Amino acid sequence: MSSQWRYFAMRVLLMVPVLFLVMTMVFLIMRLGPLDPVSAILGPEAGAGARADIEERLGLNEPLWRQYLDFMWTLISFDLGQSWIIQRGLSTRELVAARAPRTIWLGFWSITLPLFVGVPLGFYAGLNSNSPSDYFASFMGIVWQAMPNFWLGIMLLAVLRQTGPNGQFGFLPNWYELGPSTQSLLGTPDLGFMSIRWLAVIPIPTGFDIWVFLTAVKQVAPAAFVLGSALMVTEMRIGRTATLEQVHSNYVETAKAKGLKGRTIVWKHIFRNAMIPMLPVMFSEISVLIGGSVIIEEVFAINGLGRLFFQAIYQNDMPLAGSLVFVFTIIALLFKILEDFLYTVIDPRVGFEGEQ
């Protein structure tokens, strides 16, 4: 096995202790922190007998080490437990399965903004450094990044509600009149635009409603714009820096001296090599999207995983909150593994020799 793939295998193995460390910290925060699920279930005026009964039923009267082992075992076995408060008795798997598509829908459109706007702007600014357009893009990027997401979301809602009837933003086509009724910018988009028939474990699309699709896009657009805008600025600034480094590199000067066309130099040399430092930035945005969706989904009333996590913390639903952190951590680690894999493939310098 080459040093590149040994390096990748070691990186994958390191994810295991990282996962256990994160979940251990989550357990300690939930058990030793201010969360009190018994009071959330019974109310603050409950008697000592009722509290003791609930604690025994929930296993909160067990020694801390036994609670820790039970907590870790449920996660390792992907049992994930049940909700204690929000939807008592309902399994976390069912809640995640019902709400995950909404968060994925929001995340998909949030990623398109930095990928198709932020990255091209960064490369353009780097190729045209110290020009008026470069100064303008850098200035607007600093201003935009200084605005918190929750504030930007509230301001955007306040503006858009003035542009059309029923809280709709009227500068886009009224697709909701052709598809399902959408009465407000707030709320969960309808994702039933595709009919799927399962053949064993293989999903087979059997129908597609274009108007329901456009309605879902329109309703999620403001939230996706707010969530993706901060990431767009980050990618623009890093893309500009990476491009500038390549523009002034020796191999680019050599390519110019050989008489290569400017377009060939940009696409075959500058763009390709500038993408290497951009790769970890793009994948690190997954964690930002997960954390940002908690706030954005609450502001825009989207019933996804982010809003579910906020409700679990607010209502002291400890098993649900811990299980959602476990799901978020697994997602982040999987994308980190994918990042390491792509690094191993596209950059031959990656390996143990390069780490020494």
pLDDT at 160: 72
Whether 114 is covered by a domain: the verdict is no
Residue 76 belongs to a domain:
yes
- Around Cβ 138, how many Cβ atoms within 10 Å? 16
Residue 56 lies in a domain: yes
Whether 45 maps to a domain, the answer reads yes
Position 263 scores a pLDDT of: 76
- Confidence at residue 277, expressed as pLDDT on a 0 to 100 scale: 75
The pLDDT value recorded for residue 261 is 78
What pLDDT was estimated at residue 47? Answer: 64
Phi, psi of 47 (to 5 degrees): -80, 170
Give the residue numbers spanning the domain of 47. 1-86+316-356
Q: Name the packing angle between helices 149-160 and 271-299 (round to 10°).
A: 70
Cα distance between residue 244 and residue 240, in whole Å: 6
Total residue length of the chain = 356
- Counting as low any pLDDT under 50, the low residues of the chain are 167, 171-173, 175-183, 201, 352, 354-356
**pLDDT for res 180:** 44
- Cβ atoms within 10 Å of 177's Cβ, excluding its own: 12
Answer whether residue 33 is part of any domain: yes
253 belongs to a structural domain: no
Q: Is residue 233 part of a domain?
A: no
As for how many domains the chain has, the answer is 1
Q: Identify the pLDDT of residue 244.
A: 83
20 lies in some domain: yes
What's this model's pTM, rounded to 2 decimal places? Answer: 0.73
Note the pLDDT of residue 179.
43
pLDDT in tens, 269-306: 788 777 777 777 777 777 667 777 788 888 888 888 88
Neighbours of 101 (CB within 10 A): 13
